[in-house]
Structure 1
Amino acid sequence: MSVLPEQLLRDVELVESVHVVPTILDIVCRSTNMRFAVVSRVTDSHWVACSVQDELEFGLVSGQELALETTFCHSVRQLSKNVIIDHVDQDSLYCNHPIPAQYGFQSYISVPIALGDGSFFGTLCALDPEPRRVNRAETVQMFELFAGLIGKQVDQARAMQITEKNLIDEQEMSALREQFIAVLGHDLRTPLSSLSCGIELLGMAELDADSIETLDIMRRSSVHMAGLIDDVLDFARGRLGSGMSLAYKENVPLQDVVNQVVAELQTMHPKRVIETVLDPHCRLDCDERRLAQLASNLLGNALTHGDPDGVVRLVATSTDGQLQLEVINEGEAISSADQGELFKPFVRSSSGSSAQGLGLGLFIAHCIAEAHGGSIGVKSDKQDTRFTVCLPLPKPSQC
């Protein structure tokens, strides 16, 4: 037996994956009293059994090939017409035909299976060594309905295969991409650390005003680049399965964390106004560095995308055992469509500033909030845009 082409093997597997086919063959045999039924894949050069019900011990199994010219399915494919025989010996057209004699059948029916695009796939056949009345309208209609159902099921199975293959390809590509991002992030840290140290050493020398200003620009740029690298590494760690690690500390003063973040951002945006409203006695059980990163990402987003002449506010309140931290900025409203996408990686609002960034800040803020058992949301209208983070407070509340 010749080796089947790979595509035909895949087609056989497709039909085998359609669980309704054996049931259809069983119904066909019971309804006609025929003891052999098969779904075949038929091309211009091959006939292959895809699913078989054999009560005659004919010996044909799924995946087995017959010589195409020894089957009536060849004619069905060429003419797109049914072949139906009640009794070979009494049929003027087929009584002396070599095919019934070769396989020893007296009754036979074969109808085409077409796919959704109209292309010919194969046949639904049944046969028996005894004469059977199959050339009746109800029997032919049953076969044609079942053939149509099989065609639809094969179409769906093919579409599912394509979808699964595309998904696997995308997952593999995504894993490689994220591994590359992680390696790149780590490799960038070393030269950036050297650059930062060099900037600090230069800052210890006596410099004129222009040099001090240039050095300040270099310092802000290195801080910004360090933030981008941290964002990339956080994203890669989350996507590669290691997740966002937390180093919990008890009774972390919220005011100290926020003040430090505001001071850092104020050096990078010296002309902007950042206001904070929070209880100086509020304390949290949290990862202090991650909490600072969350506040920095939200405030940085407001400074970047909000009205450049507007005030950015951070307001913290406590209620029902939760800390509610809001970052509010004026500026163009974020569309409802954009709001639903903002916390996904590499997404930036289509409204507002066109400043460069990776689109990871809000995604990482979302991850930090969730890692602490909290949540984050956004509301935006013509008046202002506010990002709200809710985090659990220690019990009893110390805020």
Structure 2
Amino acid sequence: LYERVFRSHRDLFLWLLILGVVLCLIHLHLRRVEGYLREVNQALGQLTENTGHQIHLSSELQPLERRLNLLERQMQTQQEGIREQEQKKNDLVMYLAHDLKTPLACSIGYLNLLLDEPDIPSGLREKYLRIALTKSLRLEEMVQEFLEISRYSLTTVVLHRQTVCLNRMLAQLIHELHPVLANRNLDCSLESAKDIRICCDPDKLQRVFDNLLRNAVQYSREGTCIQVQMKTADGQVRISVTSQGEPVDRDRLDHVFDPFYRVNPGGSPQGTGLGLAIARQIAEKHGGRIDADSTDGKTCFTVTLPLKEDRAAG
């Protein structure tokens, strides 16, 4: 029996033995891999549930453990930022909604007085009308702020490019601001060596510079001059808007482009805090950027844009 079965088929039994050992090793390896996959699955579940606990894996999976823990920290930071922005937005909406009542009630009150008292002297009638008009204009501004919040939340910036002259655009914006400048006893100068043309979305770019100029008017010291300068270098144009007033410290300056953040040196909240955030988004869509600096009582916002059309950015 030994001769017929084992000795004559020795090679076959040897191969079967080797095959059995290999299968056992493969089984053990697959069990080990299954254990690793189970650990990774549990770690991913912990990551998606955002438990906040440190992820621990086997020593063989240490590189993956470090990456997952880094990803968890990044997700927590992003979620905290989203919650903070949402809270700022909710607070701002509450502030605007509460303050809508005041100008509305005031306008209605003075208009009712005019209707109920037809024999009011002309001077007093004009005074009441001016007050009602002022409150109505303030109401319009606040409604516009609500619309701005909605646009920022629900839309993305889409560019419609054409070639425009930056000098004329800025000169027109400065001219339109003359009444506001006169009320604050301010002046505004435009310095540029030559006409500069770029391919951009003029409507959206006007919004960027209009926002920067109005911010400069709002925070300038009375009797000073707002300086607008344009320079070209290295295929780019840099437009700086410099105002003189209370300096902005670095902590606040680092957040001026954050949505719903409002620099508020005077103590009274003004605007939605979206102007600079949207301006930065528009500049980046054009392939450029906006930088801010404040030293020696001067605050400068610099817009850098490519002179040539950047189709990838649009």
TM-score normalised by length of structure 1: 0.44
The structure having more radius of gyration, on CA atoms, is 1
Note if contact 2:262-2:270 (Cα within 8 Å) is conserved in structure 1. Answer: no
Q: 2:270 aligns with which of 338, 353, 356?
A: 356
Q: Which amino acid aligns with 2:211?
A: N
State the SS of the aligned residue for 2:245: coil
1:323 aligns with 2:220: no
1:285 maps to which residue? Answer: 199
Pick 1 or 2: higher relative contact order, CA cutoff 8 A, min separation 6. Answer: 2
Q: Residues of 1 paired with 2:283 and 2:251: CA distance?
A: 22
Q: Residues of 1 paired with 2:241 and 2:139: CA distance?
A: 23
1:257 aligns with 2:162: no
Q: 2:181 aligns with which of 239, 251, 269?
A: 269
**Deviation readout 1:249-282 (Å, 9 max, x if unpaired):** 12x1212221222122222332321221134521
Provide closer, same or farther for how the CA distance between residues 225 and 371 of structure 1 changes in structure 2, counting only shifts above 3 A: farther
Note if contact 1:311-1:330 (Cα within 8 Å) is conserved in structure 2. Answer: yes
State the SS of the aligned residue for 1:308: coil
State the SS of the aligned residue for 1:269: helix
2:157 maps to which residue? Answer: 244
Structure 1 residue ranges without an equivalent (≥5): 1-17, 23-115, 117-156, 189-206
1:373 maps to which residue? Answer: 287
Note if contact 1:375-1:391 (Cα within 8 Å) is conserved in structure 2. Answer: yes
1:87 maps to which residue? Answer: none
Q: How does 1:214-253 map to 2 (within 5 A)?
A: 218=133, 222=137, 232-240=146-154, 242-250=155-163, 252-253=164-165
**Deviation readout 1:16-73 (Å, 9 max, x if unpaired):** xx949x9xxxxxxxxxxxxxxxxxxxxxxxxxxxxxxxxxxxxxxxxxxxxxxxxxxx
Q: Which amino acid aligns with 2:159?
A: L
Structure 2 residue ranges without an equivalent (≥5): 1-37, 43-52, 54-68, 101-121, 310-314
2:223 maps to which residue? Answer: 309
Deviation for aligned residue 1:342: 0.5
Q: Residues of 1 paired with 2:221 and 2:267: CA distance?
A: 9
**Deviation readout 1:144-191 (Å, 9 max, x if unpaired):** xxxxxxxxxxxxx9xx8xx97x959x76x949x78x97xx99xx9xxx
Q: How does 1:1-399 map to 2 (within 5 A)?
A: 19=39, 167=79, 174=86, 218=133, 222=137, 232-240=146-154, 242-250=155-163, 252-270=164-182, 271-279=185-193, 281-351=195-265, 354=268, 356-394=270-308
- The percentage of counterpart residues that share the same residue type is 27
Q: Residues of 1 paired with 2:210 and 2:79: CA distance?
A: 35
More helix by share: 2
Note if contact 1:275-1:312 (Cα within 8 Å) is conserved in structure 2. Answer: yes
Q: Residues of 2 paired with 1:220 and 1:262: CA distance?
A: 26
State the SS of the aligned residue for 1:337: helix
Q: Residues of 1 paired with 2:289 and 2:268: CA distance?
A: 27
TM-score normalised by length of structure 2: 0.54
Provide closer, same or farther for how the CA distance between residues 355 and 390 of structure 1 changes in structure 2, counting only shifts above 3 A: same
Could you say what the CA RMSD is over the residues aligned between the two structures, in angstroms? 4.6
Q: Residues of 1 paired with 2:139 and 2:178: CA distance?
A: 17
Note if contact 1:338-1:350 (Cα within 8 Å) is conserved in structure 2. Answer: no
Note if contact 2:152-2:278 (Cα within 8 Å) is conserved in structure 1. Answer: no
1:45 maps to which residue? Answer: none
Deviation for aligned residue 1:369: 0.9
More strand by share: 1
